[in-house]
Copies of this chain bind each other. A is one copy, B any other.
Amino acid sequence: MSHESKSETQDPFHAHDHDHCAASVLRRAEEQARQEGVRLTPVRRRVLEILLESHRAMGAYEVLERLALEGFGKQPPVAYRALDFLVEQGLAHRVRRLNAYAACLSNQRDHTPAFLICRLCEQVAEADTPQMREALAALAAAHDLTIERSTVEILGICARCAKAEQAKAQDV
């Protein structure tokens, strides 16, 4: 198995070493928790692992179902609290268009990436470019608004799914 992945810019829409990518996020989570004096408890860690199983964004209730099966609490706050913790720590992100959560794949502590969402396979990629940061800053400046948080989400169809769709259309 090749380890060519630059853990900086994982892109689920293209081939990557997922085991490596998941493990590296978990390692970072542990280290970060130690450093910041917060606790990566079993539920919290497990939720992160669950999110890391795929690059799909998962709804809170979907996560909760998994937790319940594994002997954790069965009520919504259990999932929401763990997810909120992960989001606060920058270990996961909330994808508003989907009312769902995805593990953070970057190494940066405080970043507000853009999300690229494939409507068909539901995979989510994050991206953080200077160009976008500048565009956001320019907008805010033009309106005299002090930025506190920003949301950038792009919904579309990834290359892999586009190709698959085309193939399907040909078959008919």
**With A96-B97, A134-B131 known to touch, is A125 a contact of B143 (CB < 8 Å)?**
yes
A149 vs B132: C-alpha distance when bound (angstroms): 16
A144 at interface, CB cutoff 8 A: yes
Write out the residue numbers on chain B whose beta carbons fall within 8 Å of the beta carbon of A68: none
**With A146-B156, A153-B150, A156-B148 known to touch, is A116 a contact of B140 (CB < 8 Å)?**
yes
How many residues of A are in contact with the other chain, CB < 8 A?
Answer: 39
Write out the residue numbers on chain B whose beta carbons fall within 8 Å of the beta carbon of A156: 140, 145-149
A135 vs B129: C-alpha distance when bound (angstroms): 8
CB-nearest residue of chain B to A160: B144
A162 at interface, CB cutoff 8 A: yes
How many copies of the polypeptide does the oligomer hold? 2
A118 at interface, CB cutoff 8 A: yes
Write out the residue numbers on chain B whose beta carbons fall within 8 Å of the beta carbon of A129: 135, 138-139, 142
Write out the residue numbers on chain B whose beta carbons fall within 8 Å of the beta carbon of A150: 152-155
A148 vs B154: C-alpha distance when bound (angstroms): 8
**With A96-B96, A97-B96, A132-B135 known to touch, is A143 a contact of B127 (CB < 8 Å)?**
yes
Q: Are the CB atoms of B96 and A143 closer together than 8 Å?
A: no
Give which listed residue, B118, B125, B151, contacts A151 with CB less than 8 A.
Answer: B151
Write out the residue numbers on chain B whose beta carbons fall within 8 Å of the beta carbon of A143: 11, 13, 116, 125, 127, 158
